[in-house]
Structure 1
Amino acid sequence: MAISPKLLNDGERIVVSCRTHVKALFGPIVVLLLVLIGGIVLTVLEIGNDTVDKTINYAAWVIMAAVAVWWVVRPFLKWWTTTYTFTNRRLMFRTGFIAKEGRTIPLNRISGVDFEIDLLDRIFGCGTLVVTDASEAGRVELHDIPRVEQVQKVVSEELHRQATGGRADDGT
């Protein structure tokens, strides 16, 4: 998902844009399945028709809906609205649906781009992109980036291109 073109300056172009790998939604999917199974079991096991049983049933459904909103809808919206974008001038990450939050790091302040891949990341084809910059924070970790090795390569090439003033490296 690319960022809005109105956020780009004149002459700025997108080099890489992505969001967190879909594996970030596996936990919320499990919670959703458990809530649905609980709701089905609750509905099937409804024994009486008296008001107390119906009230307990409705209260349980309200609690399950609250659980679904907090542990399913909220993480999905966070995943959907979070983007990481490298342009030829800066790294931007933006998140938020109603209340938005963002951070920008100029590429000329980035001193290194590394990646880390553990066993689970390797299975899903993602990893952590580690951006080292000249700020007091010094290190920004972008977790669960799809195809992290290719992203690291493209960003490193852009950093090298800027460091050499756009000259081709002839290997000498």
Structure 2
Amino acid sequence: MAYPDDLLVDGERVVLHKHPHWKMLVLPVLVFLVTVGVAAYLAALVRNQSWASIAWIALAAVGVLIVLWFTALPFVRWRTTHFVVTTHRVLVREGVLSRQGIDIPMSRINSVQFRHTLVERLLRCGTLVIESASDEPLEFDDVPDVERVHATLYHEVVDDE
């Protein structure tokens, strides 16, 4: 059973299921590449020293910690963040160890907007703004193909009326 099929009620089906845009992973990948490069360079510098094996262990330990913290954790965070539009509601789930989420029934959505910068337009992502019966509009950043998501969500809201 694919996520979020286990969260659906009878008669509800998934219309759209997205993770945040891949641009969130650019910096973590760069950190990984720089960490590996710097660690390899430093390991080569100390290879002829009598204490090289200790330095290599220290470099490996520091490198692994940096990669785990700045690359693996953001990837897992990206992978466990879901933006889902169903026939009845909008679901957002995020978090790794502690999870949080929000469900917005289609009947409570008043308006749907999107915005994106020039760079986001080139990358085909942006911010989706959902105004519901709550006090503040909800903003979802880094939504991939935000214009299509906007149109799909608007279509579902209109069909729900």
Please show how residues 55-94 of structure 1 align to structure 2 within 5 Å.
55-94=54-93
Whole-angstrom distance in 1 between the partners of 2:60 and 2:79: 26
Q: Please tell me the residue identity of whatever aligns with 2:73.
A: R
State the match for 2:104 in structure 1.
105
Give the conservation status (yes or no) of the 8 Å contact 2:89–2:104: yes
Task: Summarize the alignment of residues 74-153 of structure 1 with structure 2, pairs less than 5 Å apart.
Answer: 74-136=73-135, 138-153=136-151
Number of the residue aligned with 2:156: 158
Q: Which amino acid aligns with 2:91?
A: M
Partners of 1:99 and 1:85 in 2: CA distance: 19
8 A Cα contact 2:46 2:55, kept in partner: no
The answer to whether the 8 Å contact 2:43/2:59 transfers is no
Partner of 1:170 in structure 2?
none
Residues 3 and 85, structure 1, Cα contact 8 Å, conserved in 2: no
Shift of the alpha carbon at 1:58?
A: 2.1
Counterpart contact for 1:113–1:152, Cα < 8 Å: yes
* TM value normalised by structure 1: 0.86
Instruction: For structure 2, list consecutive stretches of 5 or more residues without a partner in the other structure.
Output: none
Q: Is the 8 A contact 2:110 2:133 kept in 1?
A: yes
Cα deviation, residue 47, structure 1: 4.3
Where does structure 1 lack aligned partners over 5 or more consecutive residues?
164-172
- 1:45-74 Cα deviation digits (max 9, x unpaired): 1144423x4333322321221111111000
SS in 2 for 1:9: coil
Structure 2 match to 1:167: none
AA in 2 matched with 1:91: V
The separation in 1 between residues aligned to 2:47 and 2:54, in whole angstroms, is: 13
State percent identity of aligned pairs.
31
Query: How far apart in 2 are the matches of 1:115 and 1:100?
Result: 26
- The residue type equivalent to 2:115 in the other structure is E
**Is the deviation greater in 41-50 or in 53-62?**
53-62
Q: Equivalents in 2 of 1:40, 1:72: separation in Å?
A: 18
